[in-house]
């Protein structure tokens, strides 16, 4: 699913009107009806709604929502926030229609801001996706007051004051903090980023029938991954397949006291469907791996007793490296040998990333289209510090372009950046996955998919999606706080059944 910026959304609306031969007021009615339906399903008939409307089309949406809710016998109070002498034609049209049903109140200055009933649900329809400046004046005062209330708050399309794109964001800006956001057709970029997502609350995409033909022509830098997207490239197994058909993963890592990371990654590579797996660890990991993962083979390389060191000879397997590796100086040299000996895309995680951050000159030697899977701090060690989300995304693109690799930047809505500059945000996963070993499972899953001949981008997208889905399925049965990384491995199979 493509993620659009504000000008692209406007173009898409205009094209839809022409293609479907409808008026903008009719499209507004369609959008508001979807919002009102969601509200009616969410809140019982005795609910009171307080709707704050701006003077543009977002305010027009609020007016239509009010009219529909009134027709279904809900109690509704509507305030028009008069922050400008200018109004949109669709706002005026719907203001006239609503005046026949209720008395509409106007907020012109601070003294007109009303007390709000304690249990009233606040609907934010003041400013939409097109806002391009910080909120000031009476609107700022109103939003600051609303943000102090415990009332449920539902934003229409986007919380007022929050821009579509991070370039316009400043933490000093006044932004309404919503519990729910009802957005149209696709998420906004700021819904998916850590410094802005908390304004949005739980968000829901409502389809309002915008032109699918025109969507295909719009070039975007961002996409949102859903199940229908991964189904396009998921492979089915042929009847006469054998274990060699599905590749051989070599999971390199481990050090004294950190062998569990390799256990998790190796298990995950097999559970996601790799035909064979070999764990490559220091000698102290032999019994642990042979006992914990009987399906896998083990190899070491003398004199690797407690950490990996010495020579490395490529076996042309699909390499995943980093879980539990440690950063001993001899291990750093060993990693360099692995990178130089490996000619096909590899998965690089954890301490392997930390070692590269200390030896950045080695980054140019990584096989083209390799996949790095840092968490935010590891990424910062690679690219340097950044002050805001815009700079972070710029550094992410620059890194993948410079080193011709993919980066899986882990976190809520994990971001997958490809070598061409497109960033894919994931739709699965939950905070219960913020637990030790979760990233090691992801490394194994991506390596296992890469071994099965998925392209690096497909392996990254599919691995991240199924990893998150395994987490979502886990918490339905055991709850969020109880989730541990081993649960993710155990639920990989159930996640694949949902594809």
Question: Annotated binding site for K(+): which residue ranges?
Answer: 58, 124, 160
Nearest-angstrom CA–CA distance, 448 and 454: 9
Handedness of CA 485, 486, 492, 494 (dihedral sign): negative
Between helices 350-358 and 329-341, what is the axis angle to 10°? 100
Nearest-angstrom CA–CA distance, 183 and 128: 10
Nearest-angstrom CA–CA distance, 125 and 227: 31
Nearest-angstrom CA–CA distance, 281 and 279: 6
The pair of three-digit structure tokens given for residue 67, joined into one six-digit string: 């009219």
Q: Would you say 453 and 474 are in contact if contact means Cβ atoms under 8 Å apart? A: no
Question: Could you say which DSSP state residue 56 is in?
Answer: S
Residues at the binding site for (6S)-NADPHX are 57-61, 128-134, 157, 261, 324, 375, 440
Residues at the binding site for AMP are 410-414, 439
H or E segment to which residue 58 belongs = helix 57-71
* Preceding omega of 303 cis (within 30 degrees of 0): yes
Nearest-angstrom CA–CA distance, 280 and 273: 19
Distances (CA, A) of 159 to 129, 181, 201, 257: 9, 7, 9, 47
Partners of 319 in beta bridges: 250
Nearest-angstrom CA–CA distance, 261 and 252: 10
Residues at the binding site are 57-61, 124, 128-134, 157, 160, 261, 324, 375, 410-414, 439-440
- The DSSP string of 272-291 is TT-SEEEEE--GGGHHHHHH
The pair of three-digit structure tokens given for residue 185, joined into one six-digit string: 């057709």
Question: Could you say which DSSP state residue 2 is in?
Answer: B
The pair of three-digit structure tokens given for residue 328, joined into one six-digit string: 């001993």
Q: Please give the backbone phi and psi of residue 107, each rounded to the nearest 5 degrees, phi first.
A: -110, 115
């Amino acid at each position: 699913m493509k993620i659009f910026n504000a000008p692209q959304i406007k173009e898409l609306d205009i094209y839809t009107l022409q293609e479907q031969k409808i008026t903008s007021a009719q499209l507004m009615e369609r959008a508001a009806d979807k919002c009102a339906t969601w509200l009616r399903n969410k809140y019982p008939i005795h609910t009171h709604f307080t709707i704050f409307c701006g003077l543009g089309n977002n305010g027009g949406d609020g007016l239509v929502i009010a009219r529909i809710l009134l027709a279904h016998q809900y109690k509704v109070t509507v305030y028009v926030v008069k922050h400008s002498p200018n109004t949109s034609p669709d706002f005026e049209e719907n203001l006239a229609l609503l005046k026949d049903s209720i008395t509409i109140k106007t907020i012109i200055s601070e003294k007109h801001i009303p007390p709000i009933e304690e249990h009233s649900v606040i609907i934010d329809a003041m400013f939409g996706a097109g806002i391009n400046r910080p909120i000031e004046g009476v609107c700022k005062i109103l939003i600051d007051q609303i943000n102090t209330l415990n009332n449920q708050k539902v934003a229409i399309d986007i919380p007022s004051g929050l821009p579509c794109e991070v370039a316009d964001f400043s933490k000093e800006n006044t932004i309404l903090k919503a519990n729910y956001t009802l957005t149209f057709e696709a998420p906004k970029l700021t819904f998916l980023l850590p410094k802005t997502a908390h304004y949005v609350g739980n968000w829901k995409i409502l389809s309002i029938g915008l032109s699918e033909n025109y969507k295909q022509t719009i070039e975007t830098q961002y996409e949102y991954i859903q199940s229908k997207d991964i189904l396009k490239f998921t492979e089915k197994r042929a009847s006469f397949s054998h274990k060699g058909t599905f590749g051989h993963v070599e999971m390199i890592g481990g050090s004294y006291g950190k062998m569990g990371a390799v256990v998790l990654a190796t298990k995950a590579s097999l559970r996601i469907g790799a035909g064979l797996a070999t764990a490559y660890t220091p000698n102290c990991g032999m019994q642990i791996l042979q006992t914990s993962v009987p399906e896998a083979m083990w190899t070491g390389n003398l004199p690797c007793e407690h950490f990996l060191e010495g020579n490395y000879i490529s076996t042309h397997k699909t390499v995943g490296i980093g879980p539990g590796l440690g950063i001993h100086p001899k291990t750093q040299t060993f990693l360099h040998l692995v990178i130089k000996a490996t000619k096909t895309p590899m998965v690089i995680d954890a301490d392997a990333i930390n070692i590269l951050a200390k030896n950045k000159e080695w980054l140019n030697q990584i096989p083209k289209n390799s996949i790095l899977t840092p968490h935010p701090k590891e990424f910062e060690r690679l690219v340097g510090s950044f002050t805001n989300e815009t700079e972070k995304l710029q550094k992410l693109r620059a890194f993948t372009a410079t080193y011709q690799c993919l980066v899986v930047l882990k976190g809520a809505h994990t971001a997958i950046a490809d070598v061409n500059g497109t960033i894919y945000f994931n739709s699965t996963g939950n905070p219960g996955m913020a637990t030790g070993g979760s990233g090691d499972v992801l490394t194994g899953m991506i390596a296992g998919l890469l071994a099965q001949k998925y392209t690096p981008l497909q392996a990254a997208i599919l691995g991240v999606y199924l990893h998150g889905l395994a987490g979502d399925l886990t918490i339905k049965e055991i709850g969020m706080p109880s989730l541990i990384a081993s649960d993710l491995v155990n639920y990989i199979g159930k996640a694949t059944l949902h594809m």
